[in-house]
Amino acid sequence: MLLQNKSIKSIALAQNAMSDSTAAFLIEPTVRSLNIESLKLDSNSITGVWLEKLAKRVALVGFNTLSHSGSGLKSATSQSILATESGDESMRLGTSPTSGNNGLINLGLEGNEQISDRGAEAIANMITIKSDATRSLKMINLNQCGIGNYGFSKLK
């Protein structure tokens, strides 16, 4: 539904006791549907494992040169990764940004105390990868996420 409904811009699911396995269902639509600009999963039971999965999927989507260089071709690296990581045709489709589709701008994770250093490191990796899914990312709320010195050192 989220991939097909182009009107949905924000998903807020705070305080639902959502686990990694439940939140995993949001990864694909969030990454592939560039209409979703805000994902707020505050005060759930999400851990760094979920963030690692999100970061991996962001890397697989890659950077579509259609909206950035005008050539209309996906980068060879991104296309190759998608082809080898997934035998499912729908997973290899990637994304085709159109006017007004920014991808994720705001990611709210406040109060997920088990995100920890592992999740901070996953986010640090995610924001260093060129991807249509996160090219417009402006804000990540990691308040009260159990991040220690190691995690903060990765984020700086």
Q: Give per-residue pLDDT as tens, 128-154.
A: 988 999 999 999 999 999 999 999 999
Which pLDDT score is estimated for 77?
Answer: 42
At position 137, the amino acid (one-letter code) is: L
Does residue 41 surpass a pLDDT of 50? yes
Residue 91: which H helix or E strand, with range? helix 89-92
Does residue 67 surpass a pLDDT of 80? no
Does residue 51 surpass a pLDDT of 50? yes
Rounded distance between C-alpha atoms, residue 139 and residue 125, angstroms? 15
Binned at pLDDT 50, 70 and 90, residue 111 comes out as very high
Mean pLDDT over the full length of the chain: 82
Question: What pTM does this model have?
Answer: 0.76
Which pLDDT score is estimated for 97?
Answer: 43
Does residue 119 surpass a pLDDT of 50? yes
Domain ranges of the chain: 10-155
Q: What is the third-level CATH fold of 10-155?
A: 3.80.10
b/e burial code for range 9-48 (CB count within 10 A of at least 16 → b): eebebeeeebebebbbebbebbbbbbbbbebbbbbbbbbb
Sheet-wide strand order for 106-108: 10-12, 38-40, 106-108, 139-141
For residues 9 and 38, the answer to whether their CB atoms sit within 8 Å is: yes
Does residue 78 surpass a pLDDT of 70? no
Rounded distance between C-alpha atoms, residue 140 and residue 114, angstroms? 16
